[in-house]
Structure 1
Amino acid sequence: MPSLRLHRVLVAASVVMPALLFGAAALHNRRDVLRDGQVSVSRSVTIMDEHARKVFETGELVLGRVDDRIQGKDWAAIAAPETSSFLSGLEAPLAQVVSVWVSDAEGRVHAGSQAWDRSVSIASREFFEAQRAADVGSFVSAPFSGRATQRRSFALSRRRSTPDGRFDGVVHIALNPDYFTQYYAASTPEASHVALLMRADGVILARLPDTGGTGAAERIPAESRLLRQIAIRPEGGSFLGVTTPDGVERAYAYRKVGHYPLYVAFGVDKASLLGRWHDNLRLFGAVAGAASFMLLLVSWLALRGVKAEHAAMARLRAALESLREETRQREAAEQRVRQAQKMEAVGQLTGGIAHDFNNLLTAVLGSLQLLRKRLPADDERATRLLENAFQGAQRGASLTQRLLAFSRGQALRPAAVDLVGLVQGMSELLRSSLGPGVRVEAQFPLGLAPAHVDANQLELALLNLAVNARDAMGGQGALTIFAREERVTGGELRPGRYVVLGMTDTGCGMDEVTLARCVEPFFTTKGVGKGTGLGLSMVYGLAAQSNGRLVLRSRPEEGTTAELWLPAAEASAMVPRPAAEPARPRPEGVGRRTVMVVDDDPLVLASTSSMLEDAGHAVVEASSARQALEILRAGAKVELVLTDQIMPGMTGLQLATEIRRQWPVLPVLLGTGYTERTELAGSGLPLVGKPFSQAELTAAIEGCLAPPPGLVVGGTVVPFRPAEGRTP
């Protein structure tokens, strides 16, 4: 019958469902009980750790007070009764301290907080032997029975040394193990448990329950689960297992005590933890039959609540982790911005100095060249002095080039460069620069993409890095040149493909302070005359101006790795590097011309005018852009205007624009100190870089006056593009 059949089903369900529910609830409750027990154990070991730290820190303070008291005194003064009284005063208020002692290098006690037999020596004590062998700082001994106090204790000791570092005795305090066990008994749960204070080598200093032993120190076997766990996780942890000779399985937690080689451990019997579970089983069994439906409903609601709680906690943890990561990224970005602003400020200052210095060098080099022409050929001494001055000025010009490389004020000619071919082409130069004591190894992958960079400047950067590596290795070691491809998706570099070209040396390395400052201009750790402090600055500037970055990694005595991250170029864009062009013949038919020279610096104006007059040109001088316009409006017959770029009131570029507007066919040549060459490169005006020689100046003028346009200025071809819609 259907009704009977349904009744049987319900009866069976009323038996089976409570049984299944009872079993599931029992297993779940067992897991919770063990978990709660482990939490309680961890909480107890935290309390024990805090207590132990305070006790040992107090002991350190006592030792410090004793050190201060006997500092600079001889043993006769230390043996005075006042010292022992002082030690007794230190001991009295401290329940954990059994006694305080001061002994000499032979182990004889000279002062103590308790009465003692003066014939007794402590030279055989473990802590005395350890301090005599070496200055180990604060040393904690194994427990021992005190000869003066007849009480079981362990020592916290410090070494006493003579001014020249020789062993001169020991200051120690004897700590009471009972103080720890009494505290553990009062502060830990009542369930059957084990509480330990032990050294890292397994020697037990205090334990609960106390075995009451007075003989040799008790030690945990090296193969015990506790010591194996400490070896794996030395700062602290928890586990379930057997670790004491009684063979009882316990839930343990342990933690390292501050900086001391000590551990506190606390374990509760697993059977004791499960006693609560057994009680719960009896309760569940009593109510399962009568309230099966309610139990099922409550269990389902409880399970849903736990799941919701876990999900909420997971969301909260994810949100917190996201917030922490966001904070880390923001702090890192702020640090990068601060560093970039600092380097930008230094770069602007450096570029300004280089600009002014180039103006001075223009006047110096020009005057020296004119003087060299007028010097009698037979005056060897004057010729030598002139050449020295000329070489010094040229070295100054080279220095400004490095300054401008750092400040990113130089004009680059980036192209797709085959790094493997570039390094191979430099092999002889690198070998001669590094010397026979440096072994060079290259590691390049097959199919390496070309880099978008100025090849000439990259060669100079690699040479600077190689020379720095050689100096760091003292001329002896190994240098590895390597390359790889990387893809950047975020950060301070633009997303995209990059080619990393780097060097690793086996030199002395750098500490964090040096590493943080090594790219600053003029910062060097080399001796006087051995470096300008501009090599890495130039490499840094090249990387930044090439839309890449310089990455340096170094540690003292572990060498240095320098990596240039450069944008990758398409292989199809790579062209072979052209051979050096033969010198061009000077254009014919230029002859004597009238050139207006515009410069606000009287020295540069006079020097430039003298070079042009010496070359056979007529010169009209103007000390400002406005004066130049007034002269031109007055009808002066000028065939070319040579103007400085940076001038008060009106710049050279603004002057050139005004001249193009009023006198479209009058050529203008800009003389620049390089700091603004990158801005002027797209202006369409021919440039001549300061400091320039008479030959470079003459060639630039002839290039402007004798088409086709396109001139070589200081080794750099700068095309001349006329103003739109006009012919110069």
Structure 2
Amino acid sequence: MPKLTLRLHKLLIAASLIVPAGLFSAAALHNRAETLREGQGAIIRTTAVMDEHAQKVFETGELVLGRLDDRIHHLSWDEISAPETSAFLAQLKAPLEQVVSIWVADAQGVVRAGSQNWDPRVTIEGRDFFQAQRERDAGTYISAPFRGKATQIASFAVSRRRSTPDGHFDGIIHIALSPDYFTQYYATTILDPRQIATLLRADGVVIARTSPHDINVPLPTKDRFKRRIEQAPQGGFFVNDAGEGGEERAYAYRAVGTHPLYVVFSADMAALLNRWYANLISFGAVAGVASLMLLLMSWMALRGVKSTAMAMTRLTATMNELQRETAQREAAEQRVRQAQKMEAVGQLTGGIAHDFNNLLTVILASLSLLRKRIPAGDERALRLVDNAVQGAERGASLTQRLLAFSRGQALKPGVVDIPELVRGMADLLRSSSGPVVQVETRFPLALAPAYVDANQLELALLNLVVNARDAMSEGGQLTISGREEQVGVRQVSDLPPGDYVVLSVIDNGEGMDEATLARCLDPFFTTKGVGKGTGLGLSMVYGLAAQTGGRLVLHSRKAEGTTAELWLPRAEARPAIVLQPDGGPSEARAAPLTLCAVLLVDDDPLVLASTATMLEDLGHTVVAAASGRQALDILGAGASVDLVVTDQAMPGMTGLQLASQLQQSHPKMPVMLITGYADRDELATAAMPVLYKPFSQNALKAAIQSCVSELQGAAEEV
């Protein structure tokens, strides 16, 4: 027996060294792989940001070229050479910091109009972008970097060909973009000097680069990166063990829209593994401490079976307590991570919805103007444009649902009698649930009212009922009920203390497993087939509850059904507010169009250009500004303006802040806000008209006319 005990403890001593070493090795390998995955994800995300920025810059360039082409399309060269054309080009360039200059040259390469002064004796006939367009219609051609003859600034050109009615070459129009603009932007995304960001053409010509290498040296023909582009032209990720300086580097690249351009981001693999090296120290310390503790316990165990048994008893108790505390801590951390995830996803979706509203504004504006220019009788073209408009409007509907999840929708909360609301939509709920589902309502006789947006609550309830119906394809029981709850001061809850009204939707359908329940609130997550759901229903309900000051609670088990509880703040018992439809500025009373001078302010060049085009198409005079500060400078310089139309969400100075300053400097100047994201606290108190993105030309026309009519009415009263 003693020999057996001795042998057992010798094995325990060996295990105290081998097991921690094995665990340390396994944890180190796993952490290395995880660190590399996170580094790859960061590189790919950075490349996506670079791609999005480049696409926006070149889309803006296309729009500028389009506006210039529209302006001079029917002009003779004498008319183009007039000072008014160059003044127009200077005004067009002013708000665009990425643009160095804008030019119009004839078939001999002589510059006829430009955004700044030039030597008329100098031609651009030798430039590659001029020769390429002279040989053939090269479409939108992007040149290699060069130093401008007039500006003496490093530039690269984006050009288009001008042709005579019979198809002969008649010169070019082009804008010169700044490579330094891209380099400076990329520098803001790079946190490590060993990271390199590059913008280059598909043929290997480098446009902009953050490393000190000469950008005039193209990539060699046999470069591994160029072979990767040939294999995967849209984008990809790879690791090159023969990078600059011989070090191993990770690369991610993406094609810039339909242009023959690529954005490339690379990082040193050794830099990616720095965090792993630091983790090795922590893992080694933990393994060493664990090994030391096991050795100490084994040595004590050798002193006797009784001492060993007592030590093992104490160790077991300690481990159980540690496991219990660990489980409690992990549960708490999981709740915090879930809350942080939903908050982060909400901010992301709200930002995406805001950007999409800007894009949809540009798309709808362009389609509206294009529809006016379609010749009469071209029904096919009209149908195509109308289809595009319907698609853009569906995109606008999608952004509204994203804003609902991110708590960015504009709500009109009021006192709502929930039983009365459910009775009012009983027929809709029964038709939505289908003939095989039995719907039952259970409400107490005196249920307190809730403080919520009635229209949004109806939509949320309809979404919950439809989800319950889909979970009971073979039929079942659907119960809609309500109750009152109270959250105490000392009660552990995600809700602030107070009184709440709980609206419950209970089904006995197929239910959800733990994995599905953990993800069901994520936007676009759905278990339904393709075309049967967007995955935004529960996300919208979640957003409404959170924005109202409540929460959505889901209880579900596989094959046992689901209970969805919508916790809403309780309201004081007073007559419910009946919400009237708000048509917005687009439904303003028709009135004769009054032309005026509009100061248009927007930091997004695409939105600024498209909105200015719509206003000019209506006959208004437009002065454009890319920021609130620039708008104040324009007014301070004595510009004659009748109305200021400004975007709300702008860096440096928001639209409301601009309006506040105008009240001091120009107290009689009317201001209208345009926004794609409902800033609830600020806009709710703003006593000024608001036009929500995306908007049509008719909505813009009505909003402008409404502002001008109110101004004229106020003047007549005075």
State the TM-score, normalizing by the size of structure 2.
0.51
Matched with 1:336 is 335
Q: 1:333 to 1:569 in 2, by over 3 A?
A: farther
Q: Which amino acid aligns with 2:400?
A: Q
Give the C-alpha shift of residue 579 in structure 1: 7.3
Matched with 1:698 is 701
Alignment pair present for 1:370 and 2:380 = no
Written as runs of structure 1 = structure 2, the 5 A alignment for 1:481-492 is 481-489=480-488, 490=491, 491-492=493-494
3-state DSSP class of the match of 1:522?
coil
Q: 1:581 to 1:688 in 2, by over 3 A?
A: closer
Matched with 2:506 is 504
Q: 1:601 to 1:708 in 2, by over 3 A?
A: closer
Matched with 1:350 is 349
Give the C-alpha shift of residue 588 in structure 1: 4.6
Give the C-alpha shift of residue 695 in structure 1: 2.6
Give the C-alpha shift of residue 578 in structure 1: 4.6
Matched with 2:517 is 515
Matched with 1:566 is 568
Aligned partners of 2:401 and 2:441: how far apart in 1?
27
Q: Which amino acid aligns with 1:497?
A: D
Aligned partners of 1:526 and 1:685: how far apart in 2?
44
Give the C-alpha shift of residue 620 in structure 1: 1.6
Alignment pair present for 1:655 and 2:658 = yes
Q: 1:709 to 1:327 in 2, by over 3 A?
A: farther
3-state DSSP class of the match of 1:572?
coil
Which consecutive residues of structure 1, in runs of 5 or more, have no partner in the other structure? 1-322, 711-719, 721-726
Matched with 1:640 is 643
3-state DSSP class of the match of 2:515?
helix
3-state DSSP class of the match of 2:525?
coil
Q: Is the 8 A contact 2:588 2:706 kept in 1?
A: no
Written as runs of structure 1 = structure 2, the 5 A alignment for 1:666-685 is 666-685=669-688
Alignment pair present for 1:631 and 2:634 = yes
Give the C-alpha shift of residue 669 in structure 1: 1.2
Give the C-alpha shift of residue 508 in structure 1: 1.5
Written as runs of structure 1 = structure 2, the 5 A alignment for 1:296-335 is 334-335=333-334
Matched with 1:412 is 411
Aligned partners of 2:443 and 2:324: how far apart in 1?
36
Matched with 2:543 is 541
Aligned partners of 1:564 and 1:430: how far apart in 2?
17
Give the C-alpha shift of residue 701 in structure 1: 2.3
Q: 2:625 aligns with which of 618, 622, 629?
A: 622
Matched with 1:281 is none
Deviation track 1:520-550 (CA, whole Å, cap 9, x = no partner) reads 1111111222211111111001101111110
Q: Is the 8 A contact 1:352 1:675 kept in 2?
A: no
Matched with 2:387 is 388
Matched with 2:441 is 442
Q: Is the 8 A contact 1:645 1:651 kept in 2?
A: yes
Aligned partners of 2:560 and 2:525: how far apart in 1?
21
Q: Is the 8 A contact 1:411 1:678 kept in 2?
A: no
The 10-residue stretch of structure 1 (619-628 or 560-569) with the greater mean CA deviation from structure 2? 619-628
Give the C-alpha shift of residue 683 in structure 1: 3.6
3-state DSSP class of the match of 1:681?
helix
Q: Is the 8 A contact 1:587 1:706 kept in 2?
A: no
Deviation track 1:104-145 (CA, whole Å, cap 9, x = no partner) reads xxxxxxxxxxxxxxxxxxxxxxxxxxxxxxxxxxxxxxxxxx
Matched with 1:269 is none
State the TM-score, normalizing by the size of structure 1.
0.50
Q: Is the 8 A contact 1:354 1:675 kept in 2?
A: no
Matched with 1:608 is 611
Matched with 1:474 is 473
Q: Is the 8 A contact 1:410 1:678 kept in 2?
A: no
Written as runs of structure 1 = structure 2, the 5 A alignment for 1:578-617 is 578=580, 586=589, 588=591, 591-617=594-620
Give the C-alpha shift of residue 697 in structure 1: 2.0
Q: 1:701 to 1:398 in 2, by over 3 A?
A: same
Aligned partners of 2:476 and 2:357: how far apart in 1?
39
Q: 1:589 to 1:379 in 2, by over 3 A?
A: closer
Q: Is the 8 A contact 2:410 2:678 kept in 1?
A: no
Written as runs of structure 1 = structure 2, the 5 A alignment for 1:429-468 is 429-468=428-467
3-state DSSP class of the match of 1:473?
coil
Aligned partners of 1:427 and 1:483: how far apart in 2?
15
Aligned partners of 1:556 and 1:327: how far apart in 2?
28
Q: 1:446 to 1:520 in 2, by over 3 A?
A: same
Give the C-alpha shift of residue 643 in structure 1: 1.1
3-state DSSP class of the match of 2:685?
coil
Q: 1:331 to 1:709 in 2, by over 3 A?
A: farther
Q: Which amino acid aligns with 1:430?
A: L
Larger Rg: 1
Aligned partners of 1:609 and 1:696: how far apart in 2?
14
Q: Is the 8 A contact 2:358 2:607 kept in 1?
A: yes
Q: Is the 8 A contact 2:588 2:702 kept in 1?
A: no
Q: 1:331 to 1:671 in 2, by over 3 A?
A: same
Aligned partners of 1:398 and 1:632: how far apart in 2?
37
Give the C-alpha shift of residue 675 in structure 1: 5.0
3-state DSSP class of the match of 2:710?
coil
The 10-residue stretch of structure 1 (473-482 or 356-365) with the greater mean CA deviation from structure 2? 473-482
Matched with 1:69 is none
3-state DSSP class of the match of 1:445?
coil
Q: 1:396 to 1:585 in 2, by over 3 A?
A: closer
Deviation track 1:539-570 (CA, whole Å, cap 9, x = no partner) reads 00110111111010111111111110101112
Q: CA RMSD in A?
A: 3.3
Q: 1:412 to 1:635 in 2, by over 3 A?
A: same
Aligned partners of 1:563 and 1:569: how far apart in 2?
18
Q: Is the 8 A contact 1:485 1:499 kept in 2?
A: yes
3-state DSSP class of the match of 1:571?
coil
3-state DSSP class of the match of 2:471?
helix
Aligned partners of 1:356 and 1:575: how far apart in 2?
34
Q: May I ask how many residue pairs the two structures share in their alignment?
A: 393
Aligned partners of 2:392 and 2:587: how far apart in 1?
27
Aligned partners of 2:712 and 2:541: how far apart in 1?
33
Matched with 1:665 is 668
Q: Which amino acid aligns with 1:386?
A: V
Q: Is the 8 A contact 2:587 2:702 kept in 1?
A: no
Aligned partners of 2:599 and 2:581: how far apart in 1?
36
Aligned partners of 2:533 and 2:444: how far apart in 1?
34
Deviation track 1:57-113 (CA, whole Å, cap 9, x = no partner) reads xxxxxxxxxxxxxxxxxxxxxxxxxxxxxxxxxxxxxxxxxxxxxxxxxxxxxxxxx
